[in-house]
Structure 1
């Protein structure tokens, strides 16, 4: 995915060639060997993250992947072993699933603190210290073993997610700093695999660990993994801040590795531009300005429905699968069977990863090639979602409803959830990438707002799912979700058709994009050669 990966058509440092047509001018621009213009244009400084070797970029992405995996797997560890907790706390199984809502609330709110602090102390430092906070929360949860500790247990899940959301908010900026426009689709797909994979693999691992033991055991493996992630982040995460403006003096890393790590992670301003606390407070207000932008509200509406139903499906499926047959259940799974059932998510992630790798950049570039001027539109990103979110995801939700209503074999339920998983995995990196490109100078703020808004539905659905089922039946609950997902895709169609006008309506002058830049080199004969 870096500029040295020639097998994907991207030039190495000695293969970058001058091109014609960048920024609509007859000026020389650096391109890949296949004539794709590099946006943004890299500087000649080896410290520029765009010029980093592919091995260094891959190391940073892998480190962020691990940290995000931990951030999203830790809050949901207890998702499968709900029967033991229900007995301990004297609650119903559905009430135990409220911890998913507590975790979702933490994911929705944490970034509003970590984003402004990252400007004060540096993004890498905030990621490191919030992982330490999450480690404390993972130790907190399994200590809540008394009947009167239901509330503190929910609080531990909230704060675990509050600390764990950091990479999903700050990570997109690393990708935008390191990768060119035509590479970002694959980069976003790889990083955001950790989000969905973590939220699903966490319960899977915990289910197998605690299947034949008391429920607190399921948390200790995540304590070890979180500690390991802290070590990896300290050893390998690099700050990607770099100002290409003429005359700017950028930080030079010290020769000593220890000194560099101290400057990066210990409180101070060695890797961040020194700002006052008043300036930090002003930065904290920017996400709320972006939150009223029509383009962000439209994307958030789509994500809230599609991702929210995926979250709700994951939270409620253990209830349906583990309900005893004598109590009206369909499958009567134990915890081990439920954990094995979740492997369909892993298959979905693999399919979604392959699809994203091969199509998330190629489809937009193909659409650019159909434009005789070879110019970019951010909305080209959204076309990759037609097969996954207009077809597979509503089909999957509808099949879940059929399986529940007509008591079909669990294979039907697994296939249905596979379709939903693919749709969710593909949609998140595409929509986050799109919204970051719509707010090119405010990528973190845009990702933060989108991240919090898309969780609202998944956060709340556990509280009203039973009245909804009582009103229309469980089959039609998921059937209605399928229709709502199709309706949500209409939001994307509106952007495909009127995207430029909608983005132009953004208030507060925050919507800087790369629209109109030439991505594919014009034919030489067009210039008289």
Structure 2
């Protein structure tokens, strides 16, 4: 393998995650010619995983249907994850005066909400794995509606706190499970764009929501934040029920070429050829020792629109719920998974920490901003995150195809980590944000540094997420739940000490410490990139989860 990724030295025939993705045009008799390929400009791209013959396989759904599902789920993520969490950030000073309490007490409302999100994560993961993603998303949106109704009717600190906690139960699915929908719907060479879109939603949009929330609080009052959420989340819940069917699908493992540890392309090609009218007659006498469930019988009929409205589609795992609840934590026994969890979760927590102290810094001299003014400051990180997401969305998938073609058509998930090279600017922005804010420097320059921080952070968060999906797809649901848990527990911890720390030591010290940790975490990408393939091989041969009899994929 070129590009600095060390080859596996074991006798493993095929390292899971490494796949033949691009090839030169095959001859009709070649094994690869029998496999399904992309179309148009992607005609030389082997589809990974290979779609089954079942019309109900999400990989076979029309592209417009996939896009509509993603759009509705991203809309839900905008509301339940990117808006519900930072909803009150720009209004902290107003709420502190209304309830005659401290900044810390108001920040704790968000802290307890995020604690609820973190604690519910393992349950959300277990239910999604056991009963599918659709009922989990529906329940999450319902919690957001109920919590918003409670918030709109609250007139005391305790009732508003209760509303925020109920809203917290809507967050985890839209921060984590949504990532595992991407490999349900899209092939490997298409995932980078949609990973960038979800990352953009969770990072940049969360800042845009503060801009809107600050203006609403300033002009209409903070109750209207909840009034508006009732309407918008209610609409999303309806769209979710009508147009987002279950995406969990149990494809025969023969098709999952990226998860295999053996080279079974010949066997898969024979199975594919059985459905090719041009070759069916020629292979009637072939004796295939191992057949594919969906290829040995007539594919089932396509589900109707009414059938797809079913909330529950059966049991998708034979594991006990208790075992599935512990799976996200146990997944961290894998060092690659642990890296993604720690790096993405911690870096994400840093820009939320910046938002926690924004009202405290900018509501008083020398800035003297109103709630709306504090909210408008979030335009900086929104634009920084949006720009990074656009760059990654446009270049991520073309980049991996370019590298793959220069690696004899072999794709390595570690290639997804290359954009982290550009993340160092985020650490610079993080440090200078604190220094300039403490000195009372130009407001626009401080805001630029906030945007620069998020620009760099998106390169880390998006690249790590794309790597996780490609390298450890069978653990993706649990992995993103674990990451969500870590960052929400960090958010909760920050709510206890961030405001006091910034008040006593000054924002410069706070963000210098954060910046140092940021750079240290970014540097850990180097050994993962170099040794990642060897570790994937080692994990497959010494899988601690299998030793503990814990499965993170269906055994059906």
Q: Call closer, same or farther: CA 1:459–1:252 in 2, change over 3 Å.
A: farther
Equivalent residue number for residue 98 of structure 1: 108
1:311-345: per-residue Cα shift (whole Å, max 9, x none)?
1012221221112x2xxxx3110112222222223
1:138-153 counterparts in 2 under 5 A?
A: 138-146=148-156, 150-153=157-160
2:36 match: secondary structure = strand
2:290 is equivalent to residue 284 of structure 1: no
Matched, 1:230 2:230: no
1:521 maps to which residue? Answer: none
CA contact (8 A) 1:70 1:164 kept: no
SS state at 1:332 partner: coil
Match of 1:118 among 101, 123, 128: 128
Cα distance between partner residues in 2 of 1:382 and 1:370:
17
Cα distance in structure 1, aligned partners of 2:107 and 2:370: 17
Say whether residues 1:456 and 2:456 are aligned partners. no
From 416, 419, 430, the counterpart of 1:381? 416
> SS at the partner of 2:251?
coil
Q: Structure 2: how far apart are the matches of 1:298 and 1:260?
A: 37
How far residue 286 of structure 1 moved from its aligned partner, in angstroms, is: 2.1
Write out aligned runs for 1:2-401 (5 A): 28-32=34-38, 33-72=42-81, 73-146=83-156, 150-245=157-252, 246-248=292-294, 252=301, 254-255=303-304, 257-261=305-309, 263=310, 265=311, 268=312, 271-273=313-315, 279-323=320-364, 325=365, 330-371=366-407, 373-387=408-422, 389-390=423-424, 392-401=425-434
- Alpha-carbon deviation of 1:361? 2.0
2:54 and 2:300 in contact (8 A); partners too: no
Name the CA distance, whole Å, in 2 between partners of 1:173 and 1:272: 19
Change (3 A) 1:275 1:364: closer
Post-superposition offset of 1:212: 3.2
Q: Deviations over 1:339-376 (max 9, x none)?
A: 222222332233122111122223333332332x3322
Alpha-carbon distance, 1:217 to partner: 2.4
**1:476: how far off?**
2.7
Contact 1:17–1:29 under 8 Å retained in 2: no
* Separation (CA, whole Å) in 2 of partners of 1:210 and 1:333: 13
Determine the C-alpha separation between the residues in 2 that align with 1:340 and 1:469: 21
Shift of 1:163: 1.9
After superposition, give the CA deviation of every residue in 1:287-318 in whole Å (9 maximum; x if it has no partner): 23212221122222222331111110122212
Q: CA deviation at 1:39?
A: 0.9
Secondary structure of 1:38's counterpart equals: coil
Give how far 1:131 is off: 0.8
- Alignment partners' CA distance in 1, 2:399 and 2:551: 24
Per the TM alignment, residue 41 of structure 1 is displaced from its structure 2 partner at its CA by 1.4
Q: 1:347 to 1:485 in 2, by over 3 A?
A: same
Contact 1:139/1:220 (<8 A) preserved: yes
Shift in CA distance, 39/106, structure 1 to aligned 2, threshold 3 Å: same
From 489, 514, 524, give the equivalent of 1:491.
524
- Residues 1:468 and 1:386: Cα distance change in structure 2 (over 3 Å): same
Number of equivalences: 477
- The TM-score normalised by the length of structure 1 is 0.83
CA distance in 1, matches of 2:165, 2:471: 31
CA contact (8 A) 1:208 1:339 kept: yes
- Using the alignment, how far apart are the partners of 1:471 and 1:296 within structure 2? 37
RMSD: 2.8
1:435 aligns with 2:468: yes
Residue 516 (structure 1) aligns with: none
Preserved contact between residue 24 and residue 44 of structure 2 (Cα < 8 Å) = no
Contact 1:439 1:511 in 2 (8 A): no
- What is the SS of the residue equivalent to 2:49? coil
Of 504-513 and 445-454, the range deviating more from structure 2 = 504-513
- The 1:408/1:511 distance shift into structure 2, 3 A limit, reads farther
Distance 1:198 1:109 in 2: 24
Relative distance call for 1:114 and 1:313 in structure 2 (3 A) is same
Q: Unaligned 5+ residue runs, structure 1?
A: 1-15, 514-529
After superposition, give the CA deviation of every residue in 1:138-167 in whole Å (9 maximum; x if it has no partner): 111233313xxx344333223312222213
The separation in 1 between residues aligned to 2:184 and 2:332, in whole angstroms, is 23
Structure 2 Cα separation of the partners of residues 275 and 300 of structure 1? 24
The Cα of 1:468 is off from its aligned counterpart by 3.8
The alignment status of 1:420 with 2:466, answered yes or no, reads no
Encode CA deviations 1:31-76: one digit per residue, 9 max, x unaligned: 2344222111123333322222221111111011111111111233
Distance in 1 of aligned mates of 2:301 and 2:126: 24
**What's the CA shift for 1:466?**
4.8
Shift of 1:239: 1.6
